[in-house]
Structure 1
Amino acid sequence: MAAFVLCAWPAVAGTPLPPASAKDEGFAAERLERLHGSLRVATGADGYLGVVELIARHGRIVDWQAYGYRDLARRAPLRRDDIFRIYSMTKTVTTVAVLMLVEEGKLALDAPLSRYLPGFEHPQVMTNRDANQPQLRAADKPITLHALLTHTAGYPAGLQGDEAAVQRMEQIDPHGARDLRGFAERMSHVPLAADPDTRFGYDGASLELAARVVEVVSGEPFERFLQQRIFDPLAMRDTGFDVPAAKRARVVDLTTMGKDGKLRIADGPSAAHPGARLNAYASGAGGLYSTAADYARFAQMLLDGGTLEGHTLLKRKTVELMLRNQLTMLDPPVNQFNAGEGFGLGGYVVLDPVRRGQPGSAGQFGWSGAASTYYMIDPHEGLLAILLLQHLPHDDGGRDLPRLSRGFYAQIYQALRP
């Protein structure tokens, strides 16, 4: 059965950004249709349940489509306003919250974490490979807020040699905490796997600690801070750590590939109960639900230098700092995933599109979520693009399902006219 394509462009009133024709914003419409065709195929009867994609240029939406279905039974056609678990795309939101407080003079990126949270005065590095009897030494330097935001704090990150430190962290179980305060208290007992600022090691704990810092410094629960300072000003009406009962029918089923080669509902509370919290605490590393429309407004705010429709969240120079590679202390100054990418504050930064192996621009910025959600902004082209699925792990369900994100972005760039 062919996938449904809903709400074909041009858009109706109420779009998150002003609509425009693809031609007027420099796209070849026939090449965008190739993208549509590939997404129809990918959400066919034997493919992913559904996909929402949104493309905007110069602040105007040129393409916003939904394909496939919301539910595993494939009875409810996917809608453009359906709600997705965005997991690590939450990290960019948390980073913006931290930087807002930096602009207000309440935080400093180079300040030690211990200035804001107790228990982090003397970070320790694990030196042996026995989680039950860890041997520790003092870290060469303190953990800073900058290290948290850039994944250079040295926390266990699944890199080679991290195995025992990861096991020790699992024994302490910070993710089992009921709130961010409890998370931070448990993390104060987790040893580092490396000295701060000596490697990039992508971990979730760092952004949870950053979220706790926001709570302590602002005097507000992290969830309330995001609602009042980011979501309300940007009119992100469907973004939050859980989904109200009246909206839960719009939450997309979360799938994984079963041993029988067929899609099934993934494990976990939010998969079994769509709309439920992903964590007991308000996870700044990966706890948010959102929509393509909401995240487009957030991404456009960054693309426009921190302001959207008169609401300024960050100043232009702060956003410029976000979008610059922060890994200059490393050799080479790249992240662990791609030799052509560095890391800014809250997302990757493309340093070399050739080495990265994908069409794009130097300075392109973005990130993804564990359940196959993706966004990127390209200041050089005035471009933003969002691709939302709900599949674990990423959009790579085994040999029977294609990986969509690389082809999605490649087709967007190939659709740009000279």
Structure 2
Amino acid sequence: MNHAGTRALWPRPIAAALLCLGALSTPASAVDTVVDAAAPLPAAAPLAWGVSPERLQRLHVFLDEATGPRGYLGGVSLVARNGRIVDWQAYGYRDLARSEPMRRDAIFRIYSMTKTVTSVALMMLIEEGKVALDDPVSRYLPAFADLPVLEAGAAARQRPAATPLTLHALLTHTAGFPAGLPGDEAALALQERADPHGAKDLRGFAERLARAPLAADPGERFGYDGAALETVARVVEVVSGQRFEDFLRQRIFQPLRMRDTGFRVPDAQRGRVVDITTMGDGGRLRIADGPSALHPGEALNAYASGAGGLYSTAADYARFAQMLLDGGTLDGQSLLGHKTVELMMRNHLTMLDPPVTQFSDAEGFGIGGYVVLDPAARGQLGSVGQFGWSGAASTTYTIDPREHLVAILLLQHLPRDGVDDLPRISRNFYDLVYQALLP
């Protein structure tokens, strides 16, 4: 596929104007911000903000190939530097038939990228003095008082937890819920028996979850799971007196003009939802299982999942990420104070030895996302203090305060173990974004 012949850095009228001005090869002083009414942030020529247009072509070629006939159906990427969008592209197709070209305003299931939004919601309540990080969860959800711990290797032996379960433990995935770690099997079986995911609302989820023991003492280990952030979402409901979805809409999405983000896509907009695929046994992509796959736009869960229930677009999430990069404020809308955002983007696993996640010895965890501790040990381009997270269906974002950078890649594919699946490309994506940055 010829990238230059099918799309440009900007909508075609703007691209033509920029090319006439020589914006992609002239000094930064020649062209700065350009008008693009559809852009979630001001659009600018890459060179004006320290991004090489020639090196960006490497990213375009790579994503063109990754969304080719034997690759992902399609995707959307967005790169912003210093608050300006320097690259925003759509690749491939929206549908399994590969008949409808992907659009930049396509709607994706972002799954665990929801967790950062949920974390921001609780931090807003902390700033209002309604809760504190070290508060016990039982202060707001009494059923979580005196949760026992199931000792590893003993199917029925429970003991009192050594420390109370706190909001901080929920936010940092150190709560002790079963998380697929060695020795978690018995605790996981009891949690599945309680069936919190079968609940119809967050209240029911929390009540069912509290019937099962923990797999470890709170604060003892990092164990990534969804139960913690579902519980955070329920705390937001109890403390705010609002349904979680209403709180997000009124306090985050509307102020940030995130018009296409929510737990359900309106009927009139469902033609923009991207088909979600998985690899079939025959080596060909197929539509994934589940109500949202069969009926794109339907809610991903029966309850408003704070762990992974949101739909969104690259444009909407760019505004959310830019708000965090700018210290909690965007376009005059202040959601958080800058010191709160600083706290979110610091490593909170310092009580552990080593203070890292289960996924990487080079990453700690803040509030709502990873924190890069050592880019060299991580094995990819980036910065100390870089923050971000990903979603189960191949979505990912990063915020880099040192480089004043936001980068987002949205695909829509659920990987499968045990089959010859599509390659994971988020590492390649970030390497190609960072190699394009100029000093």
TM-score tier by shorter-chain length is over 0.9
The equivalences for 1:246-285 within 5 A come to: 246-285=268-307
* Partner residue, 2:113: 89
Percent sequence identity over aligned pairs: 70
Corresponding residue for residue 367 of structure 2:
345
CA distance in 1, matches of 2:97, 2:170: 41
Distance in 2 between the 1:361 and 1:78 partners? 31
Q: How far is 1:414 from its partner?
A: 0.8
Distance, in Å, in 2 between the alignment partners of 1:400 and 1:334 is 28
Give the deviation of 1:185 after TM superposition. Answer: 0.5
Separation in structure 2 between the aligned mates of residue 6 and residue 378 of structure 1, nearest angstrom: 30
Cross-structure match for 1:300: 322
1-structure distance, mates of 2:2, 2:69: 7
Show the counterpart of 2:425: 404
How do 1:133-152 and structure 2 match up within 5 A? 134-152=156-174
Q: 2:52·2:438 contact (CA, 8 Å) conserved in 1?
A: yes
1:121-132 equivalence runs, <5 A: 121-129=145-153
Residue 355 in 1 paired to residue 377 in 2?
yes
| Gapped regions of structure 2 (runs ≥ 5) | 12-35
Alignment of 1:206-285 (within 5 A): 206-285=228-307
CA distance in 2, matches of 1:5, 1:255: 27
Cα distance, 1:128–1:407 mapped onto 2, change above 3 Å = closer
Distance 1:237 1:382, change over 3 A: same
Alpha-carbon shift at residue 13 of structure 1 (Å): 2.2
Q: 1:124 to 1:318 in 2, by over 3 A?
A: same
Q: CA deviation at 1:127?
A: 1.5
CA contact (8 A) 1:5 1:67 kept: no
> Matched residues in 1 for 2:284 and 2:191: separation?
34
Partner residue, 1:106: 130
1:60 offset after TM fit, Å?
Answer: 0.1
Cα shift readout 1:370-391 (whole Å, capped 9, x = no counterpart): 0000000000000000000000
Q: Indicate the residue corresponding to 2:210 in structure 1.
A: 188
TM-score by length of 1: 0.97
1:45 aligns with 2:63: no
The one-letter code sitting in structure 1 at the alignment partner of 2:151 is T
* Equivalence for 1:25: 49
8 Å contact 1:88–1:368 — kept in the other structure? Answer: yes
* Paired positions, count: 415
Deviations, residues 150-188 of structure 1 (Å, cap 9, x unaligned): 000000000111111111111111010000000010011
Alignment-derived partner of residue 40 in structure 2: 16
* Structure number with bigger Rg: 2
Structure 1 letter corresponding to 2:66: A
Cα offset for 1:350?
A: 0.2
Please report how far the alpha carbon of residue 14 of structure 1 lies from its aligned counterpart in structure 2 after TM superposition: 2.2
Aligned residue type for 1:61: I
Cα 1:65–1:176, aligned 2, differ >3 Å: closer, same or farther? Answer: same
Indicate how the Cα distance of structure 1 residues 54 and 398 shifts in structure 2: closer, same or farther if over 3 A, else same: farther
The SS at the match of 2:144 is coil
What secondary structure is seen at the aligned counterpart in 2 of 1:97? Answer: helix
- Kept in 2, the 8 Å contact 1:359–1:409? The answer is yes
* Cα distance, 1:354 vs structure 2: 0.8
CA distance in 2, matches of 1:287, 1:263: 23
Write the distance in 1 (CA, Å) between the matches of 2:293 and 2:366: 31
CA contact (8 A) 1:126 1:135 kept: yes
Q: Secondary structure at the match of 1:119?
A: helix
Please report how far the alpha carbon of residue 400 of structure 1 lies from its aligned counterpart in structure 2 after TM superposition. Answer: 5.1
CA distance in structure 1 between the partners assigned to 2:318 and 2:433 by the alignment: 16
Pick from 170, 174, 189 the counterpart of residue 196 of structure 2.
Answer: 174
Contact 1:253/1:271 (8 A) holds in 2: yes
Pairwise CA distance, 1:3: 8.0
TM-superposed deviation, 1:399: 3.8
In the alignment, structure 1 residue 312 sits paired with structure 2 residue 340? no
Classify 1:3/1:70 alpha carbon distance in 2 versus 1 (closer, same or farther; 3 Å). Answer: farther
Tell me if the contact between 1:6 and 1:79 (Cα under 8 Å) persists in the aligned partners.
no
Q: Deviation of residue 398 (structure 1)?
A: 5.1
Structure-1 separation of matches of 2:144 and 2:99: 51
Counterpart AA for 1:284: G
Superimposed CA distance per residue, residues 50-90 of structure 1 (whole angstroms, 9 cap, x where no aligned partner): 01000000000000000000000111100000000000000
- Considering only aligned residues, what root-mean-square deviation do their CA atoms show, in Å? 1.5
CA contact (8 A) 2:3 2:61 kept: no
Question: What is the CA-CA distance between 1:393 and the residue it aligns to?
Answer: 2.1
SS of corresponding position for 1:271 = helix
1:28: Cα distance to partner? 1.4
